[in-house]
Chain A
Amino acid sequence: MTATSMTATSTTAIGTLAARLRTVLGTDRVISDRQELRTYECDGLAQYRVVPALVVFPHTAAECAAVVKACAAAGVPFVARGSGTGLSGGALPHADGVLIVTAQMRRILELAPADERAVVEPGVINLQVTRAATPAGYYYAPDPSSQQICSIGGNVAENSGGAHCLKYGFTTNHVTGVEIVTPDGDLVRLGGRAPDAPGYDLLGAFVGSEGTLGIATEVTVRLVRLPETVRTLLAAFDTTDAAGAATSAIIGAGVVPAAIEMMDALAIEAAEAAVHCDYPAGAGAVLIVELDGPAADVEAQFVAVERLCRDNGAFEIRIAADDAERALFWKGRKSAFAAVGRISPDYIVQDGVIPRTALPDVLRRIGEIAAEHGVRIANVFHAGDGNLHPLVLFDDAADGQAARAEAASGAILDLCIEYGGSITGEHGVGVDKAKHMPRMFTADDLDTMQLVRCAFDPRGLSNPGKVFPTPRLCGEVPGRHKGAHPLQEAGVAEVF
């Protein structure tokens, strides 16, 4: 089959599918205008752009299932997208596929603070859950920096983290049940309201599956009691080494802060330019340490944290006097990624994990990587759990800089692996890091993961091209099967 005839075939298939979807959703909710389609060509990671063949907006789980069923019947791949803020290209569209946008499924279906549960549609904004629960004295704990706009559905797909995940855990620790559309178009429930459903932890497999196992259409989340007290301090250090040592000292002392966040000088410069957060002048690094919980515990630990910061060289410590000041401390941190746009035309947000104790070494090595590649690297990270977010600054218009930045960014991931860490802490693999997966996992590891995927999506229609470096296994798809899987050969597994 030639390229031309293939395109023609897929165009016809899309045309037929579009007509079918319009009968399901109505004409308004199926987009095929080229310019409108192009506004969906990327998510929060704009380096990758693919224009989808169609964009659709289901309003209900049943509509979403009908869309997926129609795609499955037509053999057309589909990609789910929430608010389009992901940083790994997880919602990058498929050129011959349908982009299913869940942004209009944004009802909070049930709020049951007494049961510590809320049931929401996937398009509900993360912060909206907290805002809805706050009057009853509860909130939704996982707080990605984009919490004011990222969707719960996207959080589930990416198993999103956030500053406060150090103490409270990631999305997976706060979702007790989901209703999903399987890649065949069936509505299925995984988990429920109870914390730990019997049988295989399919919910655990689904959370963080990056859209490759289906689309969440309803999510039951845990609500957490608002803490009695929250205390936040901002400590300024001369160097990231000192700030890193303070972090280790705090955790080593048995304190579990709600968050410990670090920013280096370049990240501070960007945040100042963007939101005028007025961090201490001349700081080589700042730490934001937040403690929450019962007042008596927090007060005692707060004294210890302050002392440990000073012992490790903090030259200025500010304590938030009220919610407004706390918000200002956080504003600098939470705006940091986008704020880098103020000091650099382009940048790559990297996401990696290292053992917390390796922090000073790794930061020094990152400095060396920056020098070697002739780029600037700003560091913002969840210091408490060693989740780094180096920001590699470059100018796309300058010759060769983009390639050097990309190389530096990749070198940082190698560094994370070298220190026994991971190539992603919370942003997911998506399209961006699929190529790095073989650095962290063996071919056997990846094939085993692929077997899980095939159990849900044997035809590889649900968000293809993400997570895995190359499409493989899924026995039924002709031309993709490259020999028997090692597990098959060993007689311990068979292809579905």
Chain B
Amino acid sequence: MAAFDDDHPPRADLINDCVHCGFCLPTCPTYALWGEEMDSPRGRIHLMSQGLGGEPLSDSMVTHFDRCLGCLACVTACPSGVRYDTLIADTRQQVERRHPRPLRDRALRAAIFALFPYPRRLRLLRGPLRAYQASGLRRLVGRTGLARHAPTLAMMESLAPTLSRPVRLPERIPPRGPRRAVVGMLTGCVQSAFFPDVNAATARVLAAEGCEVLIPRTQGCCGALSVHAGRRSEARAFARALIDAFSGGDLGHRDLDHRDLDYLVVNAAGCGSSLKEYGELLADDPAYAERAAALSARVRDLSELLVELGPVAPRHPLPVTVAYHDACHLAHGQGVRAQPRALLRAIPDLELREIADPELCCGSAGVWNLLNPEPARQLGERKARDVLATGARLLVTANPGCLMQIAAAVRRLGSATGDSTTGRCSAAGDSSATGGVAIGLAHTAQVLDASIRGLPVDALG
């Protein structure tokens, strides 16, 4: 049986754009790890081409597709403009529909996708997680063989951030001063459950910059995790619901259509990237195609919007050294690199430092780190070492996945150097003690919020 059916196979014309130059290899995380052609973008494109040429969708072929993090660094690196993003997305949905996975793998994926795209279910985890973290069990678990027996569970355990108190945002936040724009705000799944402070900071910064912020309670998952894993029909369902949430009556007391929103602001890189592709995701759906495209056109990453609007809120000095980490779906997926750096540099007394190999993924990649714990661990530690080498006091990034992944890796490096102190890492910026090296973690929104409100650096860790 041929590898692909007629329902959006990887397109031959896009495959033929690849001239086999190899410029993508050094930016590919799996090539960096293993140095093997079939685990590189060039090799995966070759495998897709083999699939179109009649080769079956074998276990080995699927393994190499599965190992792709979908970080899209290769799209940035490619001088020939190969749309690897489109190619791997089409390939993945073929794999999900056509390749029977082993039972264990199927169960794991089912569990992950029954949990993460549902903020309410994630929030239910908060109670037990806080109790667990408070009990000191975490240190005990660290010494047991969990990593060996249940690597995904161990990875999940290590990723869980120290939780702060939940924050309930109002559905409408008025602008401070004259209104400059009406913006919808996506609160996300992981972001809202585990990093509520980031959402609060985002809303405050938007209001301070003159935005009326609308946050419909009916919003759910945007479908990013699903679409990036090839679960296209699930992603479409999420997308339709989200479009509805940002339309009509769902926008609370005001009878707004999503067309009345000037922008839809997103503070999680992976979500922003998928929202910007709603137009393509729902292109085949006559009822939603037009609305999807219209919504996509209004989507902005927080940093993108703030630079577009220009600052009105005065910035207070924040004397701190910051290492800014490019989230893949922001830098490679949305081409947003300059804006967050510009916003950070504009804060008086803040010193911005660059991390070596900025194009290389930290290994989080949606749920990739849960499905591939060991290589994710290696990538995370590589990134953590580069981050720590900057000597910065604070690591700033714009994606919850990256924050959790790098925090966990920093913690591991710390315990590996003999300091058993459990580092507290959260987006609120608690510092992680790591064998004498400490770095706080924060979302771009939190740094801007602290500067606008004139908070001390300690508020960030």
Chain A residues with CB under 8 Å of chain B are 33-36, 38-40, 42-46, 57, 83-85, 101, 103-104, 106, 123, 125, 127, 146, 148-150, 273-275, 335, 337-342, 345, 347
Contacts and interface: CB of A to CB of B under 8 A. Distances in A.
B35 A345 contact: no
Nearest to B59: A33
Contact of B79 (A84, A103, A274): A274
A274 B23 contact: no
Interface in B11-50: 16-23, 25-26, 34-38, 42-43, 46-47, 50
A38 B25 contact: no
A44 B81 contact: no
Contacts of B80: 274, 338-339, 341-342
A134 to B, nearest CB: 11
B62 to A, nearest CB: 11
A301 to B, nearest CB: 32
Given A275-B79, A338-B19, A57 B26 contact: no
Contact of B46 (A38, A43, A125, A339): A38
Given A35-B47, A39-B46, A83-B25, A274 B20 contact: no
Interface string B79-105: 111000000000000000000000000
Contacts of B218: none
Contacts of A148: 23, 26
26 contacts: A33-B60, A35-B38, A35-B47, A35-B60, A38-B50, A40-B37, A44-B22, A45-B20, A57-B35, A83-B25, A84-B37, A101-B35, A101-B37, A103-B35, A146-B22, A148-B23, A149-B22, A149-B25, A149-B26, A273-B81, A275-B79, A337-B21, A337-B79, A338-B19, A339-B80, A341-B80
Contact of B43 (A34, A39, A123, A335): A39
Q: What are the 5 closest A-B residue pairs judged by CB atoms, nearest first?
A: A341-B80, A338-B79, A335-B79, A103-B35, A39-B43
A337 B21 CA distance: 9
B55 interface: yes
Contacts of A106: 35
B269 interface: no
Contacts of A340: 19
B87 to A, nearest CB: 15
B345 to A, nearest CB: 15
Nearest to B60: A33
Contacts of B64: 36
B35 A85 contact: no
Interface string B169-205: 0000000000000000000000000000000000000
B25 A338 contact: no
B61 interface: yes
A45 B26 CA distance: 19
Contact of B37 (A39, A149, A335): A39
Contact of A85 (B22, B34, B81): B22
B420 interface: no
A341 B36 CA distance: 24
B38 A36 contact: yes
B21 A146 contact: yes
Residue with the highest number of chain A CB atoms closer than 10 Å, among B18, B35, B61, B78: B35
Report which residue of A36, A84, A273 has the largest number of chain B beta carbons within 10 angstroms of its beta carbon: A36
Interface string B57-69: 0101100100000
B47 A274 contact: no
Contacts of B19: 46, 337-338, 340-341, 347
A39 B47 contact: yes
A151 to B, nearest CB: 10
Given A103-B35, A338-B80, A42 B21 contact: no
Given A57-B36, A101-B35, A341-B80, 12 more contacts: A35-B47, A35-B58, A35-B60, A39-B47, A40-B37, A44-B21, A123-B35, A149-B23, A337-B21, A339-B80, A341-B79, A341-B81
A148 B359 CA distance: 13
User: Which of B16, B20, B61 has the most A CB atoms < 10 Å from its CB?
Assistant: B20
Most chain A CB atoms below 10 A, which of B35, B36, B79: B79
B108 to A, nearest CB: 23
Contacts of B61: 35
A33 B55 CA distance: 12
B289 to A, nearest CB: 29
Contact of A125 (B26, B43, B58): B26
A328 B36 CA distance: 31
A449 to B, nearest CB: 29
A35 B55 contact: yes
Nearest to B40: A39
A99 to B, nearest CB: 10
Kindly name the residue among A46, A83, A148, A341 whose own CB sees the greatest number of chain B CB atoms within 10 A: A341
Contacts of B58: 33, 35
B60 A338 contact: no
A275 B23 CA distance: 13
B402 to A, nearest CB: 24
Contacts of B60: 33, 35-36
A34 B50 CA distance: 11
B81 A342 contact: yes
B35 A104 contact: yes
Contact of B16 (A125, A335, A345): A345
Contacts of A347: 19
Nearest to A131: B356
Contacts of A83: 22, 25
Contacts of B38: 35-36, 39
Contacts of B50: 35, 38
A43 B43 CA distance: 11
A369 B312 CA distance: 61
A362 to B, nearest CB: 26
Contacts of A33: 58, 60
Nearest to A47: B20
Contacts of B23: 146, 148-149, 335, 338
Contacts of A57: 35-36
A150 B22 CA distance: 8
A35 B55 CA distance: 8
Nearest to B356: A131
A84 B35 CA distance: 11
Contacts of A125: 26
Nearest to A85: B22
A274 B17 CA distance: 12
A137 to B, nearest CB: 18
A337 B22 CA distance: 12
B449 to A, nearest CB: 30
B21 A85 contact: yes
A114 B25 CA distance: 32
Contacts of A44: 20-22
B25 A42 contact: no
A51 to B, nearest CB: 11
A404 B77 CA distance: 32
Interface string B150-169: 00000000000000000000
